[in-house]
Structure 1
Amino acid sequence: MTSSTPKPTFDSKEFLATLTEAPGVYRMLDADSAVLYVGKAKNLKKRVSSYFQKTGHSPRIALMLQQVAAMEVTATRSEAEALILENTLIKKLAPKYNILFRDDKSYPYIGLSGGEFPRLFYHRGPFEKKSQYFGPFPNGLAVRESIQLIQKTFLLRTCEESVFANRSRPCLMHQIKRCKAPCVGLISKEDYAADVRLAGMFLRGRHSEVIDGLTQQMEAAATDLRFEEAAALRDQVRALQAVLHRQYVSSTRDADVDIIVAVVERGSLCVNLAMVRGGLHLGDRACFPQAAAEAEAEEGLAAFVAQHYAEQPPPARLILSPWPVEDLIDGLNAGPPKNEMERAWVEMAMTNARLAVQARWQARTRSSGRLASLQEALELPEPPRRIECFDISHTMGEGTVASCVVCVDGAMKKGDYRRFNIEGIQPGDDYAAMRQVLTRRYEKVATGETVAPDLILIDGGKGQHRVAREVFAELGLDHLASVGVAKGEDRKPGLETLFVHGRSQPLQLGMDHPGFHLIQEIRDEAHRFAIVGHRARRAKARGRSTLEDVAGIGPARRKKLLAQFGGLDGVKAATVEDLCRVDGISRRLAEEIHKTLR
């Protein structure tokens, strides 16, 4: 008979007897003092007691409670402070049983800069105090459509400050009636401020007030026989009415609503957020947790709401499904759909959530098959979950940049991409460049600072791969699996040769081999990422625009693009469809611009 060390038992009664009723954060620990779960409560005693005095917990929570060996609490002054501390600890500790969603800082906004003549712009990232921000929006397309509407209706400028300060005559945006040219004094500061105020009201969803105000101005101008001004105001009203008519989703009110639904299908939890602002349905986005995907829909919904509204201001109303949801933040006007319109919104959000789950499952199924075939072809012990690929880009030795792209579970993980500016080598020495980037990247693996990949791809032939193996040997990482990917004859895709570490002869896989397709995709992404970095570095050194690197873009077209999108950042943010709307830009040229700048 074997004996084992008994697991420490948690005396919940003794702990609850000493617990405060203040708001705060609690942490559940296992026998090894590892944090299992972090939660917040407006009443710590009541919330923690519910775990040990109630029955009918979900399988996930029941399994967690069996492992609890100790608990810690931190009292706070308010539930709001508890919410912020809870989110901080979840992101820092990544507890096993918490449902952690992606950071919401990636939501795009519309910005209005400060100053006498504010600039309208697309924004992601931290806010500046001097600017106003409207949003968040569910995706970039919704932002760009709104900016185009505001431009067309209120004629606000979108150009960069450096362009605005140095204009001597109106630009193309004024000629096509998208700007009132404040840069050269064609509109007074007071009149421009009035347009900015109306645009701000419209972006806040106060559509009726804006249209009523413009209508009154139009009637007054007509009465005073200022017919040209009245016609311009009439066109503004028509433009706003047209877009409202097109975008209203069975709504007759200027409503600000978030519709949040959660579904669990195919073993995946998906929370879908749809946004309605001022009665306009702006679109939605599907969110998948980074951990605890086995959670139930209600648990996932509660976790998303807590994390999302810790960083984003809530709208006037939240429509949630499933309902009821326990332990919601105080102050949120949340509930189930109340009428036919709201039920239609929820059904649409549910449909999109299920479609997102299905698409994700299909992608994972395809990826797992490709990884398995790659494992077999390269004779790896396990499917390579994390693959890193390196490429070098320069022009005759100028502006050398190395890229490292990362593929995890068959999908590109852009958050882990890295670029390396190569310095101190003989220009054009690709071997020295590869040695430098691999040394810089894998020194951190050798010291335990970062994780090691399961497979390393080197874009290059036998010589490049040999340099890579020398670096790994010097760093004590000779066990890492690697493959050199040499271009085929005439650089034709599908004819690549693979130099696999541990094999004496090079390997060629069929053009229809799933694993080979994955290698090609990763290699092509590394090549693209390196070229974009190199062009940006070279352009910075030469003091020229990266648009100059696009064949077919001369001074006239470049000027049109920069004017249309308010500078290079706007061009970079534009979609292919946005670019096609610029006069003189064909579909093929738009795709080339989009590819070059990204």
Structure 2
Amino acid sequence: MLPAVVTEKLDVLPTAPGVYLFKDKKGVVVYVGKAKSLRSRVRSYFQEGSSDNRYFIPILLRTIGDLDTIVAGSEKEATILENNLIKEHRPRYNVKLRDDKDYISLKLDPTDEWPRLWVVRRPTLKPGDKARYFGPYHSATAARRTLHLVNKHFQLRTCTDTEMKSRKRPCLQHQIKRCPAPCVLDVERRWYEEQVRAVAMFLDGRHDELSDELDNRMRDAARAMHFELAAVYRDQLAAIEKVREEQRVVAVDDVDRDVLGLHREGDLVELALLHVRRGKLADVATFSVKGAEVPDEEVVAAFLAQHYLPGLSSDDGSDVDADTALPIPNEIIVPIVPDAATGISDWLSERAGHKVALVHPQRGQRVDLLALANDNARHAFSEKRRASDDVQERLTQLKERLRLPTVPRRIECCDISHLGGKDTVGAIVALLDGEPDKKRYRTFHVHGDGAAPKTTDAAPAPGGEGEGEGEGMGSLAGDDYRAMYEVLARRFRRGLRKQESRAMAIAEGEAEQDDDKPTSVKDLAAKVEGDEEGGEWDLPDLFVVDGGKGQLAVALAAARDLGIHELPIVALAKEKENVLGDTLVDRVYLPGQKNPIPLRSHSASMFFLARARDEAHRFSNRQREKLGKRKRFKSALDDVAGIGPNTKKLLLRHLGSLKAIKAADDATLLAVPGVTARHVKALRRVYPAPTPAPAPVQPSAVIETKSPTS
């Protein structure tokens, strides 16, 4: 049921173009849209039996609390106003297609001594700048693919200016015939300038003109018996011909156009944009939109604004630079005419500096292009869904292979890292549906004061034979076991505490409901998430330890000592050779099973376990290195409460060393700029004031007397 205030406003909506804002019951703007007729557009959201795909309606009816409209002078003004309001309010239900405010371009500066082509994010268009920028490219993949093609076939340097100045001999690029090495070799300037010009023509798409020039140069070099140079020109011609073959001819005219295809399943939308340049299909870009409850025409309108127009701010609140926006073609073919299409077209034309037409074809060659774009969108949607389905299928295979009770969507893995028994760090990483879930990564500094693990038949005593990291390490293996026990006990304890908090919150909610006090699921979740351990300590579906039977026994002991018996725990041992020289592949040890399960490297089951283990190993080593670095650079003054980093620097800069600071009296310390009596008092709590040296004893005067007999 709509609020009364909304119903009243629907009856008096104007027919003029403008912008409408839907607000929730708290007055927060949740959606901003534009219309060439506010009355017909806004009322269409609330008409029963409408033929449009109104996925937004169920959410709108639940959340809307108010409605505002702003009348504009034209459709173009409505488009600009909508863009500014989205930028200001950042409504949660408006479609967001990208979060990167800069597109990649390729820069070629002919004024450099030895020009090169490199990737830039934000062109620096300063007065007098003669550099050329090619692009921008819609994706980093497209830009770097082009850069790789140029570097492979056109011999320009790839090193930076700093690397070029410091180089003493040619690099590998020269050895594989991709760079003439102007850094150390005598390169003919005219020939290098020809390469620069050829690269510019290639990126400009002037393939016919460039092919003619290269063909003439190849023939001249062959007649002069410069066969190696002729071979370079031959390879460049082959590269251009390959690009031509890849660019499928899809139109008979030379009009630059983009063709937008759309495929929707529920609130999931896939968009495919075909870039047609001079009648040839130059590239295809796809974009995924999740949670798109709005109609298709509004998805198309949002795409046109966010993809081509730099006025919409990025997610960090900053404006998109006009110089980094994608080039706007002469014609954009769309699958459905967006509302206020005339205003969008006028705004695009103003930004592009030429006429831009929005076309929804009904017949002819453009219909075939639109069908091709829709097919690409449908194919991209299927491919991305298939990738997601493959992950679920592989997780199901892992469940069956390891005989797990549930599909292991959340996997955690533990690894211990140390350096000669010191700087011991335990790391736990998490995977969610096969991808790293970094917000659940945890690091534990091992204190060594935890209870030692209990040894069993499956867990060798410290110093005994084991597998994994503890193998062959003598007494140090026991330290690994104790470290792993401490880390896992701390992690499992937090998970157990989280379960208890959740059970308590649910019990309190049931009690409140018995007292006729309604408690929502959101309120119960807030109680659980509000505990001191946070909301990221839930136990996973599968826990993996890096090692063999010994590490598995330690992990089981840590869990069972805390009363955790239902958590699936396995150990993953690395590939190795036995005493007979036979290669033992990666093996998984299960509780209560003597023989491990061998996993081939190409198996689907091995993929997730190996990824978790490798990520845990990387993360633990990184944290151990950071801990060791902090310890090596640590100063004794860091442990003095009340002495901060800046004060420490001032003391060391003026007095020179810790020994001098300890020996300094209060007056000397106060003479250091920035040091106050409070800092001196803090130092004196740790380092007492030096005892003043005793005053030197003055020798007493001796009066010489003569003996009476002398």
TM-score (norm 1): 0.63
**Does the aligned pair in 2 maintain the 1:139–1:283 contact within 8 Å?**
no
**Offset at residue 316 of structure 1 (A):** 1.0
Whole-Å separation in 1 of the counterparts to 2:425 and 2:595: 30
Alignment correspondent of 2:410: 387
- Residues 263 and 174 from structure 1, CA distance in 2 versus in 1: closer, same or farther, beyond 3 angstroms? same
Answer yes or no: is 1:134 the counterpart of 2:219: no
Alignment correspondent of 2:306: 307
**Offset at residue 431 of structure 1 (A):** 5.0
Amino acid at match of 1:41: K
- Residues 109 and 17 from structure 1, CA distance in 2 versus in 1: closer, same or farther, beyond 3 angstroms? same
SS of the residue 2:55 aligns to: helix
Equivalent position to 1:120, from 114, 117, 122 = 117
Answer yes or no: is 1:27 the counterpart of 2:21: yes
- Residues 451 and 430 from structure 1, CA distance in 2 versus in 1: closer, same or farther, beyond 3 angstroms? closer
- Residues 326 and 22 from structure 1, CA distance in 2 versus in 1: closer, same or farther, beyond 3 angstroms? closer
Please give the per-residue CA displacement for 1:461-507, whole angstroms capped at 9, x wherever unaligned: 3534666899xx9xxxx999954332369886574426xxxxxx899
Please give the per-residue CA displacement for 1:243-297, whole angstroms capped at 9, x wherever unaligned: 34322211577765433211125874322233445766454344332213x6554
**Does the aligned pair in 1 maintain the 2:56–2:295 contact within 8 Å?**
no
Whole-Å separation in 1 of the counterparts to 2:565 and 2:339: 48
Amino acid at match of 2:544: D
Amino acid at match of 1:406: L
Whole-Å separation in 1 of the counterparts to 2:155 and 2:628: 34
Whole-Å separation in 1 of the counterparts to 2:148 and 2:539: 46
Whole-Å separation in 1 of the counterparts to 2:177 and 2:590: 55
- Residues 286 and 450 from structure 1, CA distance in 2 versus in 1: closer, same or farther, beyond 3 angstroms? farther
Alignment correspondent of 1:52: 43
Equivalent position to 1:497, from 549, 571, 590 = 590
**Does the aligned pair in 2 maintain the 1:404–1:526 contact within 8 Å?**
yes
**Does the aligned pair in 2 maintain the 1:370–1:518 contact within 8 Å?**
yes
Provide the identity percentage.
Answer: 22
Alignment correspondent of 1:94: 92
**Offset at residue 88 of structure 1 (A):** 7.2
Whole-Å separation in 2 of the counterparts to 1:192 and 1:420: 53
Whole-Å separation in 1 of the counterparts to 2:123 and 2:617: 32
- Residues 488 and 538 from structure 1, CA distance in 2 versus in 1: closer, same or farther, beyond 3 angstroms? closer
**Does the aligned pair in 2 maintain the 1:266–1:361 contact within 8 Å?**
no
Alignment correspondent of 2:329: 316
- Residues 287 and 190 from structure 1, CA distance in 2 versus in 1: closer, same or farther, beyond 3 angstroms? same
**Does the aligned pair in 2 maintain the 1:273–1:284 contact within 8 Å?**
yes
SS of the residue 2:570 aligns to: strand
Amino acid at match of 1:326: D
Amino acid at match of 2:136: G
Alignment correspondent of 1:41: 34
Tell me which moved more, 352-361 or 460-469: 460-469
**Does the aligned pair in 2 maintain the 1:264–1:296 contact within 8 Å?**
no
- Residues 233 and 523 from structure 1, CA distance in 2 versus in 1: closer, same or farther, beyond 3 angstroms? closer
Whole-Å separation in 2 of the counterparts to 1:16 and 1:343: 39
Answer yes or no: is 1:406 the counterpart of 2:431: yes
RMSD of aligned C-alpha atoms?
5.6
- Residues 340 and 12 from structure 1, CA distance in 2 versus in 1: closer, same or farther, beyond 3 angstroms? same
**Does the aligned pair in 1 maintain the 2:17–2:38 contact within 8 Å?**
no
Please give the per-residue CA displacement for 1:327-372, whole angstroms capped at 9, x wherever unaligned: 4533154324699775555444333332333344445556667778
SS of the residue 1:182 aligns to: coil
- Residues 61 and 430 from structure 1, CA distance in 2 versus in 1: closer, same or farther, beyond 3 angstroms? closer
**Offset at residue 116 of structure 1 (A):** 4.3
- Residues 486 and 174 from structure 1, CA distance in 2 versus in 1: closer, same or farther, beyond 3 angstroms? closer
- Structure 1: stretches of 5+ with no match in the other structure: 1-5, 499-504, 544-598
Q: How many correspondences in the alignment?
A: 503
TM-score (norm 2): 0.54
Answer yes or no: is 1:334 the counterpart of 2:358: yes
**Does the aligned pair in 1 maintain the 2:173–2:179 contact within 8 Å?**
yes
Alignment correspondent of 1:570: none
Whole-Å separation in 1 of the counterparts to 2:165 and 2:617: 32
Alignment correspondent of 2:237: 238
**Does the aligned pair in 1 maintain the 2:413–2:612 contact within 8 Å?**
yes
**Does the aligned pair in 2 maintain the 1:458–1:464 contact within 8 Å?**
no
SS of the residue 1:352 aligns to: helix
Q: How do residues 503-542 of structure 1 correspond to structure 2 at under 5 angstroms?
A: 521-532=607-618
Alignment correspondent of 1:199: 199
Whole-Å separation in 2 of the counterparts to 1:253 and 1:16: 49
Amino acid at match of 2:23: L
Alignment correspondent of 2:544: 459
Compare CA radii of gyration and give the structure with the larger one: 2
**Does the aligned pair in 2 maintain the 1:218–1:234 contact within 8 Å?**
yes
Equivalent position to 1:71, from 63, 67, 71 = 67
Amino acid at match of 2:54: P
Answer yes or no: is 1:487 the counterpart of 2:572: yes
Please give the per-residue CA displacement for 1:195-240, whole angstroms capped at 9, x wherever unaligned: 4454245324344554566678789x78x98978984785376245
Whole-Å separation in 2 of the counterparts to 1:450 and 1:117: 56
- Residues 531 and 74 from structure 1, CA distance in 2 versus in 1: closer, same or farther, beyond 3 angstroms? farther
Answer yes or no: is 1:355 the counterpart of 2:349: no
SS of the residue 2:248 aligns to: coil
Whole-Å separation in 2 of the counterparts to 1:434 and 1:269: 43
- Residues 218 and 356 from structure 1, CA distance in 2 versus in 1: closer, same or farther, beyond 3 angstroms? closer
Amino acid at match of 1:249: R
- Residues 541 and 53 from structure 1, CA distance in 2 versus in 1: closer, same or farther, beyond 3 angstroms? closer
Equivalent position to 1:325, from 311, 335, 338 = 338
Please give the per-residue CA displacement for 1:49-100, whole angstroms capped at 9, x wherever unaligned: 621268535332444554432135789988457426526755xx533xx444
**Offset at residue 402 of structure 1 (A):** 3.5
Whole-Å separation in 1 of the counterparts to 2:254 and 2:239: 14
Please give the per-residue CA displacement for 1:290-312, whole angstroms capped at 9, x wherever unaligned: 213x6554444333333333464
**Does the aligned pair in 1 maintain the 2:426–2:445 contact within 8 Å?**
no
SS of the residue 1:60 aligns to: coil
SS of the residue 1:264 aligns to: strand
- Residues 33 and 199 from structure 1, CA distance in 2 versus in 1: closer, same or farther, beyond 3 angstroms? same
Answer yes or no: is 1:8 the counterpart of 2:3: yes
- Residues 351 and 72 from structure 1, CA distance in 2 versus in 1: closer, same or farther, beyond 3 angstroms? same
**Does the aligned pair in 2 maintain the 1:391–1:403 contact within 8 Å?**
yes
Please give the per-residue CA displacement for 1:365-406, whole angstroms capped at 9, x wherever unaligned: 5666777896997667xx87x625244364756896846343
- Residues 334 and 450 from structure 1, CA distance in 2 versus in 1: closer, same or farther, beyond 3 angstroms? farther
SS of the residue 1:157 aligns to: coil
**Does the aligned pair in 1 maintain the 2:134–2:204 contact within 8 Å?**
no
Whole-Å separation in 2 of the counterparts to 1:216 and 1:281: 28
SS of the residue 2:183 aligns to: helix
Alignment correspondent of 2:186: 186
Amino acid at match of 1:289: V
Tell me which moved more, 146-155 or 207-216: 207-216
Whole-Å separation in 2 of the counterparts to 1:189 and 1:420: 56
Alignment correspondent of 1:168: 168
